[in-house]
Each structure stands twice: as structure tokens, then as C-alpha cells.
Amino acid sequence: MAKHIVTVNKASLQKTVQTGGCGECQASCQSACKTSCTVGNQVCQK
Amino acid sequence: MNMHRFTQNGMHIVLDVNSGAVHVVDRLTYDILAIFDGANDAAVLGAFGGEHGAEAVREVLAELRQLIAAEQLFSPPLTVPSVLASAPLVKSLCLHVAHDCNLRCTYCFAGTGDFGHDRGLMPRSVAERAVDFIIENSGPRRHCEVDFFGGEPLLNMDTVRHTVAHVRRREAETGKVFKLTLTTNALLLDQDIIDYLNAENISLVLSLDGREAVHDHMRPCADGSGSWAEVVDKARRVVEARQGENYYLRGTFTAHNLDFAADVLAMADLGFKQLSVEPVIGKDVDYALTEEHLPALFAEYEKLALIYLERRLAGNPFEFFHFNLNLHNGPCVAKRLMGCGAGHEYFAVTPEGDLYPCHQFVGRDEYRLGDVFAGVEKTELRQRFRRAHALNKAECRECWARFYCSGGCHANAQLFNGTIDQPYELGCKLQKKRLECALMVQASLALAANRE
């Protein structure tokens, strides 16, 4: 158990460089915003 | 910048940009990270050992080294996925089924519905052809999307109904799965339309700006009267009829309501729980947001984040689109770079069938890409949009938020800077503040879950 640091998630964007890109997820602008371009809150469909 | 650290709500938060790992650290670690570069232990000990003791500093350094070894700190730069070099596939269309509107919203980028051109409705034939255009150009991709947009799409329900029937027929023939959304001001919703939209599982984006006075000031009817009371009544009916699912209530804030958290909470207190409120886009107008508004807006986002968290932990939650950051199963790097896909995977279609990079580009004639009959004619322009991602823009390449905004909104960049390659700076500053708030919220929720 780390004393000074708590890691919130085990994300590894690096791993998705080769495996991602299927494009099955929702277009970010269609979901709710229509005026900004936030992708971080999209969910992977795989 | 490969690491971003900030303090909010008493939490010291560290984002490792290239991995997406998020850490909550104590004050000593936070301060050490101001100078630690992965290889200067002696300098760190020299700077902090006297005040905090060498043992504590060595503990922190050991923990940081574990993170580096696990590629959760100072992780290596990401390369551009090869999929971005391949030919783009169409996945989404925004169908402007009505270039007309029954409201006269002051800030509308559609120029009160007509997008600077004649008012008009999309014929069935154009909409049908648009659906076929997606199917023909989406390759092996199974999930496709159509958003019924306007102006006000409920002014042309005949084409909406016809398009949905065509989509269902083509789904059965091709195996494609369409997600359908409809963006509306809600005024024309009646029981028949509500039942139809629910039966067809069409997601709704309903426009409401929060408090009555705020909404009515910017979203009057054509005769100048307010629209708030009727919108709330209709929106309530449709949301209740779909058991509170499959919708967003979406508002806009302007220079006239810098205290927009009150509008978000007004919407939540009206019983709506899926909320998205966005900064207005405007230039040289009295409601435009400017640099001098930023301190107030930053404070407002922080205030909203605290209330969002408080209500969530108290079991009375509402969703705020920009705080719903998915830290565990977020999008892949390709998606983070392609963003909304405007201009190469996502297009807006005018009533006449013309293709534009997105709904906000409609009316900017030099950005007309082709039409749904002949397809994309300006292929070089389409490629420019595909290449205009965060790792190809000078301002974005070193920005810590580059994998969360995909390089920003092209339409806003073009509007303010005349080019899609230079992001809209005010939008970036607001985006980064929203992200910090979202990271704080998600880190707080994760820590709370760990304690349970």
C-alpha cells in the first residue's frame, strides 16, 4: 500500500494505439454537446 | 507537457498525460513533482530533505519510481495510430430536416434557423439518400448514427418518420445498427410525437437554458414572448414518458448568466437529471464570453463540481455531461485524436442534400464538401479535417488536455482564427477547467468507493 500516492485508475492509452480505432463508439458531438469536442467522456464499445 | 498537476477541493491531483493514469498525492509528493524529472533524486533530496526529512523524501521517490516502471508516470509519448492514415469511413450524419424554427434564439449559430439562407424543409428523398450515403460509405463499421437537427426538426415530422422507416428497412437488409437522436426545443412535442419517439427509441437532446428569466431572455418565441414555461411542461412530459432515460437536457450559458451553476441546478431541481450546459459561441456580440469572464466562469465550474459531488454522494445525483469522464474504459487513442470526426467521418446535411463538415459549418460556403448524391467532392478538404488533430497542431501538441478534447472544435477554431489548425483559445481554457473539475469529481468518487 503506497503511503503518499493513491492511483485512481489503471489506464493505459498506449495499449490502445494498436488495438483501437474500430469507430463503433458514438460520435462525440452527437451525444449532448453539439458545440464542443469532448471525447474523454465517451465510453469504449469494445 | 507529459504530466499535469493541480489542486482542487483540497486534493492534489496528478494526471500522467500519455497513459491517462490519475493519481491523488499528498502535499509533499505534489511539491516534489514540481522539480522531479525522473532522474534527479539528489536534487530532490537536497530541496526537500531538510524540511521533511530524508526518509520521507526517499519514500516518495520510491513510490514515484514504481509509477514510472508501470508506465503510469512520465510514460512515453504516443504515436499516431495507423487507422488515421487509412481512408475515412462515414459514421454519423446530422440531418438538417428543417432550416426553419419556431423560436428566435439570440445566440443561434443557425441564424434563427435559416443558416443564412432560405428557410426550407428537407424532402423525404434527400433524407432517404443521406441514409443510403452512410450505409454505402461506412464499410465494415456496424454502428451508424443519424441526428435529426434543424432549425427545429419537429417542423418536419413527415421527413423524420419517413427517414426512420427507411433506416429500419435498411438495418434489416444490411445488418447495420443506427443510433437515432433528435435535437429539439420541445415546443411541438405532443402525445402522438412523444409516443412515436419513445417507440422508435430515439434519443433526445432537449434545449432549456435553466432559470426562467435566463431562458426567456435568449430563447424567445417568434412573437417575442417567453418559451420557458411551455418548454418545461413539454420536456417533463416526454422525459417522464421515457422513465427518465435516453435524453439530455442541454442549455447554453452566455455573458448574461456567468452564474450558470444556478441554471444547472434549476434544471436538476425541476426533476431533469441528464444535463449538459455549454458556453455560448459568439463574436462581437453583447452576450459573447471573453477573457475577463474567465475567473468568474472558473469559480462557477468549481462550485458546480462540488455540488455535483455532494448530491451524488448524498444519493440525489444528477449527471453533468462534462463531468462524466470515464477514467477506466474511456476511448482509445484513435478516437481521442479523431474526436467528433467532423469533415471526414461526420457530416451535416442541408435540406438540399449538401454536405458540410458539421452543423456549425453550414452556411460557410467554402466548406461545402459535396452532396449526398455525388458524395464528397472536396477530398483534400476532407483529408485536412482528418489530419487536424491534437498531435498535428502546434498549440495542442504540448497541452496536457490533448487526449480529452482531440484538438478542439474545428468550427470554433475556424470562426475565431480563420483556420481549423489553430484552436479557439477561450474554448481551450474553459475545456481545461472543466477537465480539472471532472478529474477531481472522478478521483473523489473513486476514493469514496475505495473507503466503502
pLDDT, tens digit, for every residue of B124-165?
999 999 999 999 999 999 999 999 999 999 999 999 999 999
Secondary structure (3-state) at B39: coil
Minimum mean pLDDT range among A20-34, B36-50, B181-195, B377-391 = A20-34
Amino acid letter, residue B16: D
> Mean pLDDT for chain B?
96
What residues contact B169, with CB distance under 8 A and at least 6 apart? none
Residue B192 distance to chain A (closest CA, Å): 24
C-alpha cell at B334: 484513435
Mean pLDDT calculated for residue range B311-318: 96
CA proximity to B206, closest of B156, B165, B154, B137: B154
What residues contact B177, with CB distance under 8 A and at least 6 apart? B142, B143, B144, B171
- Chain A residues close to B321, C-beta within 8 Å: 31-33, 38, 41
> Which residue of A16, A27, A38 is in closest CB contact with B341?
A27
Q: Are the Cβ atoms of B331 and A39 closer than 8 angstroms?
A: yes
What residues contact B335, with CB distance under 8 A and at least 6 apart? A20, A21, A23, A25, A39, A42, A44
Q: How far apart are CA B401 and CA B388, in angstroms?
A: 16
Residue A3 distance to chain B (closest CA, Å): 8
Q: How far apart are CA B47 and CA B52, in angstroms?
A: 10
pLDDT, tens digit, for every residue of B69-125?
999 999 999 999 999 999 999 999 999 999 999 999 999 877 777 777 777 999 999
pLDDT of residue B267: 98
Q: Which residue of A has its CA nearest to B248?
A: A32
Residue A41 distance to chain B (closest CA, Å): 4
Residue A25 distance to chain B (closest CA, Å): 8
Residue-wise over B404-429: b if at least 16 C-beta within 10 A, else e? bbbbbbbbbbbbbeeebbbbbebbbe
Sequence length of chain A is 46
pLDDT of residue B83: 92
- Other Cβ atoms within 10 Å of B315 Cβ, number: 6
A–B CB contacts, 8 A cutoff, strictly below: 227
Secondary structure (3-state) at B5: strand
Q: How far apart are CA B94 and CA B41, in angstroms?
A: 54
Q: How far apart are CA B175 and CA B144, in angstroms?
A: 11
Residue B21 distance to chain A (closest CA, Å): 5
Q: Note whether B229 and B212 are within 8 A (CB).
A: yes
C-alpha cell at B196: 412515436
Interface test with B, best of A1, A3, A7 (most B CBs within 10 A): A7
Query: Is the Cβ of A1 closer than 8 Å to some Cβ of chain B?
Result: no
pLDDT of residue A12: 86
- Chain A residues close to B410, C-beta within 8 Å: 37
Question: Cell numbers 450546459 correspond to what residue?
Answer: B277
- Chain A residues close to B405, C-beta within 8 Å: 36-40
Is A26 or B248 the better-scoring residue by pLDDT? B248
Q: Is the pLDDT of residue B310 over 80?
A: yes
- Other Cβ atoms within 10 Å of B396 Cβ, number: 22
- Chain A residues close to B78, C-beta within 8 Å: 13-14, 17
pLDDT of residue A1: 62
Mean pLDDT calculated for residue range B291-320: 97
- Chain A residues close to B409, C-beta within 8 Å: 35-37
Secondary structure (3-state) at A32: helix
pLDDT, tens digit, for every residue of B417-436?
999 999 999 999 999 999 99
Query: Is the Cβ of A19 closer than 8 Å to some Cβ of chain B?
Result: yes
Query: Per-residue DSSP letters for B110-121?
Result: TTTTTTTS--EE
pLDDT of residue B386: 96
Rounded percentage of chain B residues whose pLDDT exceeds 90? 94
Interface test with A, best of B65, B335, B359 (most A CBs within 10 A): B335
Q: Give the strand pairing for B346-349 and B203-207.
A: unpaired
Q: Which residue of B has its CA nearest to A27?
A: B340
Residue B169 distance to chain A (closest CA, Å): 21
Q: How far apart are CA B245 and CA A2, in angstroms?
A: 40
C-alpha cell at A2: 503506497
pLDDT of residue B304: 98
> Which residue of A17, A22, A43 is in closest CB contact with B79?
A17
> Which residue of B22, B142, B427 is in closest CB contact with A9?
B22
C-alpha cell at B103: 423560436
pLDDT confidence band for B452 (50 / 70 / 90): confident
Interface test with B, best of A6, A8, A16, A42 (most B CBs within 10 A): A8
